[in-house]
Structures are given as C-alpha cells and as structure tokens.
Amino acid sequence: MSLDRAAQLVAALEQTTAEISNLLESVADAQDWRPNGEHWSFRHVAAHLEACQTECVLVRVRQIAAGAKPKFEFYDNDGWDFSDRDLRDSVREWRESRARVFNFVRSLSPERLSRTGSHRTFGEITVVDYLKVDLDHDREHLADLKEMLGERARPPSTAEADRAPSSNAARNRKA
C-alpha cells in the first residue's frame, strides 16, 4: 500500500509543482510585487519554496528512509532575506530539488517508506507522511498565489489609489 500511496502523492506533487512553477514564471517580470506590506512577494514565495524543499524536505525524507529515527522541529524560514534570489532561479532550483526527492522516493522499498521519524508538530512521520505534508504546503501556496494574481489583476479603486505608495521602494519593504 505504501508504494501505491507514495506514487499517488508524487503524481499530485508533480502536478502542483507544474502549476506553481507556471504561475510564478508568469509573474517573473514583476517578482517583487505583493498585495500589501504584510504579504510576501512572488520572489519571496519562490525562494521560500526552494529553501523548504532543499533544506527541509529532501534532507528529512533521506533521514527517515535511512532509518535514523530523526527528531524534527518545525522548519521555518519566515523572516529570511531572499532579496538576492531571482524568482526564475528559485523556481528552477525548487523543481530540481523536487525531482531528486521524487526519484529518491521512487527508489525506496515498502520497508524504507514505512520507517519513521518524529516531528514536533506532526508526531510520528514516515516518508509517505512527509510527502503529504509537502503536498498540503503546496496547496496552501497555490491558493495564495491564485489570490495574489487575482488581486494583481484588479484595478485599484480610487480610494486605494489615493492610499497606494507612490514608489516601488515603499512597496518592496520587507514584511
């Protein structure tokens, strides 16, 4: 069963990877746009996804499958400065890291897929469980990106235009 479930989750992750990549690449020329000063920019979302995949998911899935019985804290890169990261580079590196995760998971036996680690938030967690966490993370960001694109497409009302910052510097402040 874990092989089937892993294959289903990898297929779903491949789909969300394509959707998120396409959305982000469609706004690459406006990578610093964000709906307000409290929200992440497109650049930040792309860099966040890449960092999560490379520094968290890939490493943790390998540790679990190795049978190391790892203990994990909640991974958080909120507040990081991603201003040096180009959106296109982040998306490319995210996709590459994802491909490594997918290939690794496809190579695992049912026994290795069922090995566990311990996560402070999620409790006992297998490789398959971690894929589900990653898929849920994708779905949250996909919904957020769609909402951002909707907000970006709306013409500002007169009142909003009067309140809007007049320079990109104000809009690009760190949240």
The amino acid occupying position 100 is R
**pLDDT for 8-20, tens place per residue?**
999 999 999 999 9
For residue 72, the tally of other CB atoms under 10 A from its CB is: 18
Of 131, 139, 138, 142, the C-alpha closest to 57 is 131
Residues 6+ apart with CB under 8 A from 128: 2, 5, 6, 9, 113, 114
pLDDT band of 61, cuts 50, 70, 90:
very high
**Taking the alpha carbons of 147, 149, 154, 160 in that order, is the dihedral positive or negative?**
positive
How large a percentage of the chain has pLDDT more than 70?
86
Q: Whole-angstrom Cα distance, residue 146 to residue 23?
A: 8
Q: Whole-angstrom Cα distance, residue 26 to residue 20?
A: 10
Asked if residue 136 has pLDDT above 90, the reply is: yes
Average model confidence (pLDDT) for the chain? 87
Asked if residue 87 has pLDDT above 90, the reply is: yes
Asked if residue 129 has pLDDT above 90, the reply is: yes
Q: Whole-angstrom Cα distance, residue 21 to residue 40?
A: 16
The pLDDT, as a whole number, for residue 83 is: 82
**pLDDT for 26-58, tens place per residue?**
999 999 999 998 899 999 999 999 999 998 999
Asked if residue 174 has pLDDT above 50, the reply is: no
Question: What average pLDDT does range 73-84 have in this prediction?
Answer: 76
